[in-house]
A and B are shown apart, each in its own frame.
Chain A
């Protein structure tokens, strides 16, 4: 069950619910990475609502914060969040996979607010390092956040990036791991075990916090403390659940990517709202 926390987080909970709806609606006519992106919804909604100085009016401002979505296939959660926070017109989500727009399976910079394209895993930790390095050189106080998948941590470049970020004492840089315990096809611990993950990061010199990535209170506490150690790369491991919000697909290895028919989409929307004990919004279902 998703539990509504205290009043401080009602707005965030409402936004996250709508973002989950958007993800479900994009999971048809070709589909998208449904299970993968549902785990990151609360995290991404929290970051753009409460933590990052990023909004529709400051996207070109050199003093804005930076978010790099290295786990590129989480992008439905980003599209949905952008739509809810006014960075992207909601109508455009209906253009998913169509030639009249640029809304497809991985992020690209034609979508306002996306700083860099991704999809090939293990790339953006190093791009984020470059931005953080320049901020150190030129003196900016901007925060640089890079979201990584846990499966993505298989890629060697993630660990090279840890070494380099540590060497350059980049305490303006925050790696956030969407730790949903699955890679594409299998549980991480059944294939390439990552635990004890916090110990690994600490051994590379990082300051680490580990939280429940679906609790806004815990997200608030952890991000609120950033940088929680000076002169170190900061890392937050957000423990999450693949497919969060939809019990029928939650923690299922075969629901990384989903392409549902119209009836299934309707059922999932009902399931999502049943889980929240709220009613369906009046938005119409997109079916092509």
Chain B
């Protein structure tokens, strides 16, 4: 099932759902015809769209709003914080092309601080599915909840079949005593590749798909830190405020520590190019991740990375 099919099914089953966009239609192309008045395109007006979503929510609606991640979280930030956050309204933010998925657009379109700023708003929950299968397993509960929610939309297809979703729970893919990789979103695909390479080098490797970044699965983080000699936080996000910071906060809260290797964007935006080139240049292919953890080069082959279709 695709994102659009799930949204269509959800909106048809629940009259209270309103689909909104700030003229980003790539993932909602067919909805104007299907939903009629319950599809609202406000034009390129992210701030007004969020304010209007709050108004619709005041009337009992559940608006699912769409825009590019950079503009949804940053252009409209104060509207999300003030109109949605303070009022604690069930507005569901669906962000397109978060993280590395903005590939060739350039820094204006790079949302690599979205997790940090969205989780900083009281009441707002934050989710990052690993791929399309994960996305359609997570969204029904995210949309049913009464909380405001921010979701990094990721429609990439992988062959991995995910477990059912529980908000606040991570998906533990594997446990390991040498290293555990904690990740979310797009990079899950590369983490799976890295895990296989690390195993063939003789390591005992764990992998956790975080899924829910707020609320976060503290027990999963604590258990991985206790079990593994090394914990890796892997994310297409700034080092500031993302998963590395979340892990640090959880460990400190529980008065413990761990060897943590962060892989994130450290005080820089990424080099714009098509996705496979971006991953290679920034050091985030499965092979590069594995070699960084190992500390030496290997002869493993990096599987081909597919270029996503332009979707804005």
The chain A residues found within 8 Å of chain B, CB to CB, are 29-31, 72, 97-99, 102, 104-106, 108, 117-122, 151-152, 154-156, 183-186, 191-192, 257, 259
Contact = CB atoms under 8 A, between A and B. Distances in A.
Which of A120, A186, A192 has most B Cβ within 10 Å? A120
Chief secondary structure at chain A's binding surface:
loop
8 contacts: A104-B105, A105-B104, A105-B105, A106-B108, A154-B23, A154-B42, A154-B45, A191-B43
Given A98-B277, A154-B43, A155-B44, A30 B106 contact: no
Nearest to A31: B310
A186 to B, nearest CB: 8
A229 B107 CA distance: 37
A192 B43 contact: yes
A151 B23 contact: yes
Given A151-B44, A259-B310, A108 B106 contact: yes
Given A155-B44, A184-B25, A257 B310 contact: yes
B312 interface: yes
B23 A30 contact: no
A185 B25 contact: yes
B109 A120 contact: yes
Interface string B266-307: 000001111001000100000000000000000000000001
Nearest to A97: B104
Given A152-B44, A186-B23, 16 more contacts: A97-B104, A98-B277, A102-B272, A104-B272, A105-B104, A105-B109, A106-B106, A119-B105, A120-B108, A151-B43, A151-B44, A154-B43, A155-B44, A156-B48, A184-B23, A184-B44
The 10 closest A-B pairs by CB, nearest first: A119-B108, A192-B43, A154-B43, A154-B44, A104-B272, A106-B106, A120-B108, A185-B25, A104-B104, A30-B274
Contacts of A122: 44
A118 B277 contact: no
Contacts of B281: 99
A184 B105 CA distance: 15
A184 B42 CA distance: 13
A108 B272 CA distance: 11
Contact of A117 (B71, B75, B108, B274): B108
A118 B107 CA distance: 9
Contacts of A192: 42-43, 45
Nearest to B280: A99
Nearest to A193: B43
B276 to A, nearest CB: 11
A75 to B, nearest CB: 9
Contacts of B25: 184-185
A62 to B, nearest CB: 26
A273 to B, nearest CB: 27
Given A105-B272, A119-B108, A257-B310, A156 B23 contact: no
Contact of A183 (B23, B104, B105): B23
A105 B106 contact: yes
Contacts of B312: 184, 257
A30 B41 CA distance: 27
B70 interface: yes
A17 to B, nearest CB: 26
Nearest to A30: B274
B198 to A, nearest CB: 27
B272 A30 contact: no
B47 interface: yes
A108 B105 CA distance: 11
